[in-house]
Amino acid sequence: MGLQVLLYWPNVIGYIRIGLMFAAWGAYETPAVFVPLYSVSVALDGVDGWLARRLGQSSRFGAWLDVVVDNLGRGMLWSLLFKWGWLVSALEWCVFVCNHNARGGHWKNSFTSSPGLIQAIMANGFWTPLGTWVVMGLHCLPLWLYGYQWDLLSHWFYLPLWIQALGIMLLAAGRLLALSAEIWCIWTHIEYLISDDPEEKKN
């Protein structure tokens, strides 16, 4: 495939998403600009994978780029929302390194021997009710918290405080489910790193 992979349409969408994320970062204190930019970037996350399958343009680079863009966006928002937000970003980058180092571009399909909860989360590439809940927690919780901090949930959507709090709890629960999968990924990677190297055994 070579360098032409860089110009696959799903990857072009990834570059557009990066541009949207940087634009959103610059407009963080202008919610009327930030929210549409960030939301469109998140929405496009569901388009690139579909387009890759539709056009037969799936690639290891595309799988890598997709997660990189996700982590850039969420890391940016978490870090701006809270002083400790960088910890969430650091965790997600750590999981990224673990998955792509040991499992490669097909990491989503490599959890068949994992505990039942992890398999349920990862089944069909997150396309299950539980997987959708996890993805919502990953992508939507920081955006919901942004709306809460800037009173957008009240002023734009007229949501009562109890619905705002309920939204936070439901999305946070999804994020905690994601955390369980992240911890499993990190632990299995540690096991992989400390396991006996077959090459060393030969020597």
Q: Please report the pLDDT score of residue 2 as a whole number.
A: 80
201: in domain: no
E-strand spans in 22-171? none
Number of domains comprising the chain: 1
d(CA 38, CA 126): 21
138: in domain: yes
Answer yes or no: is pLDDT of 198 > 60. Answer: no
Dump pLDDT digits (tens) for 143-178: 999 999 999 999 999 999 999 999 999 999 999 999
199: in domain: no
Q: What is the 3-state secondary structure (H, E, C) of the chain?
A: CHHHHHHCHHHHHHHHHHHHHHHHHHCCCCHHHHHHHHHHHHHHHHHHHHHHHHHCCCCHHHHHHHHHHHHHHHHHHHHHHCCCHHHHHHHHHHHHHHHHHHCHHHHHHCCCCCCHHHHHHHHHHHCCHHHHHHHHHHHHHHHHHHHHHCCHHHHCCCCCHHHHHHHHHHHHHHHHHHHHHHHHHHHHHHHHHHCCCHHHHHC
CA atoms within 13 A on the CB side of 66: 25
Range of the domain at 19: 2-194
40: in domain: yes
203: in domain: no
Q: Please report the pLDDT score of residue 155 as a whole number.
A: 96
What tokens were used for 104? 């490669």
43: in domain: yes
Percent of the chain with pLDDT over 90: 73
